[in-house]
Amino acid sequence: MRWLAVAIAITAAAPAVADDGYFFSESLGGAGYRGELAKYDGAPRFQIGASVRRGPWTVEAFGSFLVPDLFFIDCYGEECAAAARPQAGLGAFGLDLRKRWRLLGVRRWGKPGVYARPGVFMALHGGARWFVGDDALQGYQGPGIGGGAALEGDLWLIGYYLDLGVDVMRLDGPGEPIHGSTPYVMVGGKLGWL
């Protein structure tokens, strides 16, 4: 993590250009389990991150968490049979590289081809992750990769996005290695200099 702090400090000290930005993001959505993880039910997914953008390229450091009992409701009778299934929590820490393309924007007055900061963008992202299991996956951890596509709407200081993606992983732990994936859908917001 020390190298990440150094990279952010160097990037922050560089001269700014029109499309540079620094922002924090937070999102909430849902994810499912596939592969050898398919025996577990999907779960709400929460993600927080910090990003630095230079032109169309963004680097984001983030943490995401699948929390199966986030919206726990006590049950009685037959509905408890579904709740008796083992619950699997999963955390991920990663670094994504993102490239985005402007779909809609506001042109600057008197400057043809130059856009103001507000706009609607499409983005593709991907990178490395480290996964840590919880609940039924307690003691499991391992590397993985992930990627996705997003539709973003930015103003000057706030923005919103819809993100669809998938994370693929190999988890080592007390038992046999587990190979699986978690497709997800997230809705989130950004705050900073967009």
| 194 residues of the chain, pLDDT tens digit each | 565 454 445 444 444 445 688 999 999 999 999 999 999 988 999 999 999 999 899 999 999 999 887 655 566 666 665 556 678 999 999 999 999 999 988 766 666 666 667 889 999 999 999 999 999 999 999 999 999 999 999 988 899 999 999 999 999 999 999 999 999 999 999 999 87
pLDDT at position 194: 77
pLDDT at position 111: 67
CATH of 19-193, one of 3.40.50.300, 3.40.50.800, 3.30.1130.10, 2.40.160.20: 2.40.160.20
pLDDT at position 87: 84
Core vs surface per residue 145-169: b (16+ CB within 10 A) or e: ebebebebbbeeeebebebebbbbb
pLDDT at position 117: 74
CA gap 68, 167 in Å, rounded: 17
pLDDT at position 130: 98
Backbone CA torsion sign across 5, 45, 154, 97: positive
pLDDT at position 83: 58
Task: Answer whether 52's CB lies under 8 Å from 97's CB.
Answer: no
3-state secondary structure 88-154: EEEEEEEEEEEEEEEEEEEECCCCCCCEEEEEEEEEEEEEEEEEEEEECCCCCEEEEEEEEEEEEEE
CA gap 50, 157 in Å, rounded: 14
Domain spans, the chain: 19-193
